[in-house]
Structure 1
Amino acid sequence: MNQLKFTASHEWLRQETDGSITIGITDFAQSELGGIVFVQLPAVGDTLAQGAEAAVIESVKVAGEINMPLAGTVLTVNAALEADPSIVNDSPQDAGWFFTFKPDNPAALDALLDDAAYQQLISNHS
């Protein structure tokens, strides 16, 4: 399994062998949000700038968004989440992935947090 990268806003990213990147939310994020009840994903083919809203997520506690950590074009979406958003609660870093995208600048992934830096970040939330 490829090493995950993380954002300070609690998304995980995994570079796939074809160069695409899969994105979802971390286990920490889903546990903070509580039960996920709604997910709205981007459309395949959407070209999104870094920082742009890519997806909407609602839980029993709060509504929020997933912002693009890197600019790119959406390749696939996890349609299963729209039918059953609770998959994110059960498997946030596996079956609960949100979408894949082709990054405009793949090297920008290196600037994101590694696991050690992310663990340090969330330890400050405890």
Structure 2
Amino acid sequence: MQNFRCVSAIAAMAVFAAGSAFAQVPGSKGPGSFRGEARLVTPTAVPVEQTIGGAAWRCDGDQCQGAAARKGNLDGVVRECKKVVAAIGPVASYRSGARELSDGQLRACNKAAIQMQTARN
């Protein structure tokens, strides 16, 4: 009986260690990581790389992807979208993790960000 407990404890520790090692793998989708995707209204002529809100964004054509090891703030998905649009231009779609903007949210994102760009110029 005691051998069974010892084996169970060792197995539990092995599972815990394997889970901890997996969570530390660079590029894994850890609990605090950020992954975003956007499709631009107007494709870029050349690939563009920019840091926006602490995330590294790369756009090639009309496809953009953003990633960060940690999500640096508690912004809502529409506010995140506005920051991206202000930096790289209007988007036709925007996704942050599992959240995707609706058509109405996209209109609000593009409109507000374009107004911010106009005010700066």
* Greater strand share, structure number: 1
* Greater helix share, structure number: 2
Task: Give the number of the structure whose alpha-carbon radius of gyration is greater.
Answer: 2
What is the TM-score normalised by the length of structure 2? 0.25
What is the TM-score normalised by the length of structure 1? 0.24
